[in-house]
Each structure stands twice: as C-alpha cells, then as structure tokens.
Amino acid sequence: MSITGIKGMNDILPGEVETWQFLEQNARQIFGAFGYREIRVPVAEKTELFCRSIGETTDIVEKEMYTFSDKGGTSMTLRPEGTAPVMRAFIEHKLHNLDPVTKLYYLGPMFRHERPQKGRYRQFHQIGAEVIGLDDPKIDAQVLAMLSHFFQAVGITGVALQVNSLGCPECRPDYRQTLLAFLHDRLPQLCADCQRRAATNPLRALDCKVPGCIEATAGAPAMVEHLCSGCALHFDAVRGHLNQLEVPFAVNPRMVRGLDYYTKTTFEMVTDRLGAQSAVAAGGRYDGLIASLGGPPLPGIGFAMGEERLALLLSDSAATPPGPAVFIATLGSEAASYGFRLLTRLQREGIYAEMEYAGKSLKAQLRRADKLGAQKVLILGGDELARGVAQIRDMAAGTQAEVPLEDIDKLVRSAG
C-alpha cells in the first residue's frame, strides 16, 4: 500500500510552483522598494506565545492549533500565523535598538487544523509584512498602498480593499458591552459557535458567514460609531491619506479580525472569485501586542496574504515556464562526450540547457526537445565533430543552419 500525503497539506508540483515563484519574486522586489527586509522564523514556537498574542478564547487557540509536547515536556505549537513569531524574534534580538522604525517581511508555511476546502488548507503559506515603531496614520495608508500595488503588479484583478477601525482599549470595552446587549436577545438565532463565544469574543458574530447569524446581526451597532476621539481622528486621517494616494477603498463596519491583538485600523483585500473564502489578504494595527509579549511599548501594523488563494486567482493566466535555451542532441559516443562537457559549461554559466543521456535516436531526442519547449536544438554527430561544425535548429522558426563549433557558445548565450 502506497503512502499518501496528509489531508490538507498539499504538494506544489512543477508547473504550479512557477506561479508561487512569480508571486514571491514580486513580493521581494516590491517590499524591498518600500524599505522592508526579510526575516525567517521557526515553524514551531512555544505554545504560550500564541495564547498570549492571539488570545486564549479565539477559535485558533481553542480548536485549530497543532500543539504537542516535546521530549522535554515543553508545549510546542506549529505556527498558525506569522505576526506573533516575528514579534517574538523582534523582542528577543532587540531589533528596535538597530533602528527606531523596523520594516520586515516573511514568507512561509503556517498550520491550522481546519476543514480543508478551496483556498483553505491545514498547511498553508503566507506572505506577510510588518512595520514596527510608527503609529502615524500615514504609515497605515502606505502599507495599504503597497499592498494594492502588489496586486496590480502581479496582475490580480477583481479584488477590493475594505477598511474598518476596531478602536483601542479605551473605547472597545464600552462598544463590547453595547454589542453584548444587542446580541443577548438574539442568541437563539445564532449558530453554535457564535453562541459559545458570545460572552468572550462577541465581535466574531459580526464576521460569521452562517446565514442565520448574518440575519440576526443585521443592524448591529458598528465599532466605527463608538470610537474614542483619538481613534476617530486616526481613522479619518487614514482614509484621507488613502484618497491622497488614490488607493480605492470602502469602509466595511462589519469587518472584524479573528485575533485579539488588533486595534484601530483593520483591512482586507476581498474577492468574489473564491466562494466563501473571500479574503485574500488581511491585517491591521496591533499597537499593544509587542508590550504584551514583554517587549517595549511600540506600535505596529502589518498584513498577510494567502499564497494558495493568490495562486488560485492567477491560475487562469499563469505563464508557462520557459523551456531550455538549448537542447543538445548527439549521435555517437564521441559526440555525446563533447555535448556533455558543453552542457555542463553552459549550465555553470547560468544558461538553462538540457540533453538526452540515454543514447536515443535523433528523432526521439527532437521529440524530447519539443516537449521541453527548447528554443534551439544543437545537433552534433561524429561527422560534425570531424568537420568542426554543428547543426543549430530554431524550433519556433523550423529552420536549421550549420555553424562552426567555435561560434556555438555565442549562439547559445544569445538564446539564453
């Protein structure tokens, strides 16, 4: 019996991985232009990190984390999101001493034990970015401008930016009581999950996709209507800066985040092309998170994008990966030896080159070159070697010419 992969943890195969490379290359280029530097953190952290940052009453901590004890008895968790590990590394290595403003980005796998469905898996991958040390509304707008620019650069259309404010520790408690009072008489109409978390995390009822919950919470009080003066001024300024930068957006007063650490500005990039999984990027401000983890009282803002969902949105237009610049077809052992040396030299110079190793017929080798999408085929046999020439076939034009061996490197490099 063959061993299969774990459900919800998928292989990314050749032909698919090129789309991922395209997304990651664009992220590195664009984020770098905005002053971000890459950070890499472990896939496993102490469980306490996520309980303290995400919140013990969140669905992630209560139901979705992959948690285990190591041989020393320490409770470990495969990271369900990227912000908390990045903040742990920021604090542990005192990165704030290097610069008062820190801009970081990360790429990699996350893990949550959820029911696998389109765009949602148990091992999934995120591209994320964080800015630490600034609470100016302009940086909120700049983060959103960078995110919008990324979507434009990679050619993903049909997405829209939605923003909201979740207030701060000063104004959220009063709003929470107002919302609890609103939900109290509607509890029987809510789904089991919303009923269970109504007392501990009532804001999640506003984000529930169950039709009964949507109907029951229609007309619920909005956080943006209960902001303190500081949060209201901040949110007004963010919207003003977005307009200045000509970044289209809409205010969604029902948008909440599933993690406890978010404050003030929150946002999502949403689409109607992925069914229920409408958010392809999400994030917000988390001004109290670093201090709650034992670090300095520094503000922060960031976001994460799901690579699986981005790849789905690109799947219809994903480019075919390029074939070899040259395929070396040889006839006879002497030509094969020469061709092998030439192949290795070209590869060491960074030119994508291939050849047939098994001594097949010329017809079979040409079929292989065509299947790989080779731009040119170099045909070399004993007679050609004796005369110091080779045949070069242009696969797109269907033409063939004889060239001196000393000119081959130049011809191949021009194709590569």
Distance CA 151, CA 17 (A): 19
What is the domain extent for residue 385?
A: 326-415
Per-residue pLDDT in tens (0 to 9) along the chain, 416 residues: 899 999 999 999 988 899 999 999 999 999 999 999 999 999 999 999 998 887 766 667 777 899 999 999 999 999 999 999 999 999 999 999 999 999 999 999 999 998 877 778 999 999 999 999 999 999 999 999 999 999 999 999 999 999 999 999 899 889 888 888 888 888 888 888 788 877 777 887 887 878 888 888 888 888 899 999 999 999 999 999 999 999 999 999 888 876 667 899 999 999 988 876 588 999 999 999 999 999 999 999 999 999 999 999 986 555 567 889 999 999 999 999 999 999 998 898 888 999 988 889 999 999 999 999 999 999 999 988 999 999 999 998 889 999 898 887 777 666 55
State whether 245 and 368 are in the same domain.
no
State whether 299 and 246 are in the same domain.
yes
Q: Per the domain annotation, does 410 fall within a domain?
A: yes
Q: Per the domain annotation, does 8 fall within a domain?
A: no
State whether 154 and 287 are in the same domain.
yes
φ/ψ (deg, to 5) at 285 = -90, 145
Order of strands, edge to edge, in the sheet holding 389-394? Answer: 353-355, 326-331, 376-381, 389-394, 399-404
State whether 278 and 331 are in the same domain.
no
State whether 145 and 262 are in the same domain.
yes
Last residue of a domain, one of 281, 314, 347: 314
State whether 59 and 108 are in the same domain.
yes
State whether 129 and 263 are in the same domain.
yes
Report whether 55 contacts 64 (CB < 8 A).
Answer: no
Q: DSSP letter at 381? A: E
Q: Looking up tokens 């020439």, which residue turns up? A: 389
Hey, what are 300's tokens? 């922060």
Q: Per the domain annotation, does 188 fall within a domain?
A: no
State whether 300 and 338 are in the same domain.
no
State whether 306 and 332 are in the same domain.
no
Distance CA 394, CA 99 (A): 54
Q: Per the domain annotation, does 28 fall within a domain?
A: yes
The enclosing domain of 372 has a CATH number of 3.40.50.800
State whether 310 and 330 are in the same domain.
no
Output the CA torsion sign for 262, 266, 270, 275: positive
**β-strands 102-111, 37-38 pairing:** parallel
Last residue of a domain, one of 253, 282, 314: 314
Distance CA 105, CA 39 (A): 6
State whether 21 and 42 are in the same domain.
yes
State whether 360 and 263 are in the same domain.
no
CA separation (Å) from 186 to 198, 209, 219, 220, 224? 11, 16, 12, 11, 22
Its pTM stands at: 0.85
Last residue of a domain, one of 314, 349, 365: 314
| Total domains in the fold of the chain | 2
